[in-house]
Amino acid sequence: CIFMALRGPLSRILRSKLGKCSQQTRAESVAVLGAPFCRGQKRGGVEQGPKVIRDAGLVERLSSLDYSVHDFGDLNFPPVEKDEPYMGVKFPRTVGAANKMLSGAVSRAVGAGHRLVLLGGDHSLAIGSVSGHARQCPDLCLIWVDAHADINTPMCSPSGNLHGQPVAFMLKELQDKMPSIPGFSWMKPFLSSRDLVYVGLRDVDPGEHLILKNLGIQYFTMRDIDRLGIQRVMEVALDHLLGRYPSLSE
């Protein structure tokens, strides 16, 4: 998902789309937040992401691009005892509690005026990172750049892994398909299907495909990118999202 200010050709596209409102596309202040977490899927390793990415020089690189960088360190997720699967969903309480904490931390950082760079961690963390933004930005829209749609509901998930389900928790239109999962009572859906565009899909499950079609969600596959080019894809994606608000799309 893209939360950072867009740079280069993409930022030019965005600027031309936004016209007068574009003065703010450059983030002044970037918050870096680590979420060392892997329980959204079955393998260990991704919890080392924040350390590895920092060691590779992220903060220095961002600073050299003239951002003022505030590193908020890593969240510390307390272990959850006895976290049995629920309706096939694995580690529900652990993932729910981590995302609740993350959502609060993201909301505070965004509310303090920072542009957030979240270092994961597996993709179940999108529940907390996107919901934290939504708490501060009621008109939030989401460009999900990924091979996976990650929109399985617990009922149609082939794996039970929550990293394949975060978008299903966000969408208002899927609310009646979502059972109450332990650990997620804090989470209310906040996004409409028209607020979402996928870019780069390559590996979509049958249940996910049905959801994309039924809800009319805008998406671009890797083949679309090969065919149209990423510039055109981003233009259409942004047109779609900005078209939600006619006053901005002129």
Query: Measured from the CB of residue 123, what is the shortest distance to ligand ARG in angstroms?
Result: 3
Cα(103)–Cα(128) distance, integer angstroms: 4
Judged by CB under 6 A, the stretch of 62-70, 97-105, 150-158, 177-185 that binds ligand ARG is: 150-158
Residue 157 main-chain phi, psi, to 5 deg: -65, 125
Q: Does 39 bind ligand ARG (CB under 6 A)?
A: no
Query: Measured from the CB of residue 197, what is the shortest distance to ligand ARG in angstroms?
Result: 17
Q: Does 94 bind ligand ARG (CB under 6 A)?
A: no
Q: Does 159 bind ligand ARG (CB under 6 A)?
A: yes
Cα(16)–Cα(22) distance, integer angstroms: 8
Closer CB to ligand ARG, 65 or 210, in the complex: 210
Sequence letter at residue 158: P
Closer CB to ligand ARG, 17 or 148, in the complex: 148
CB count within 10 Å of CB 197 equals 22
Rg of the chain (C-alpha set): 18
Which tokens belong to 158?
């082939």
Closer CB to ligand ARG, 112 or 222, in the complex: 222
Query: Measured from the CB of residue 24, what is the shortest distance to ligand ARG in angstroms?
Result: 30
- Within 8 A by CB and 6+ apart from 37, the residues are 46, 47, 77, 98, 120, 121, 122, 124, 125
Q: Which residue is nearest to ligand ARG (CB)?
A: 164
Cα(82)–Cα(102) distance, integer angstroms: 21
Which tokens belong to 235?
């233009």
Q: Does 153 bind ligand ARG (CB under 6 A)?
A: no
Q: Does 152 bind ligand ARG (CB under 6 A)?
A: yes
Q: Does 205 bind ligand ARG (CB under 6 A)?
A: yes
Which residue matches tokens 């059972």? 179
Cα(199)–Cα(179) distance, integer angstroms: 28
Q: Does 157 bind ligand ARG (CB under 6 A)?
A: yes
Contact with ligand ARG (CB under 6 A) among 47, 74, 83, 150? 150
The binding site for ligand ARG (CB under 6 A) comprises 123, 148, 150, 152, 157-159, 161, 163-164, 205
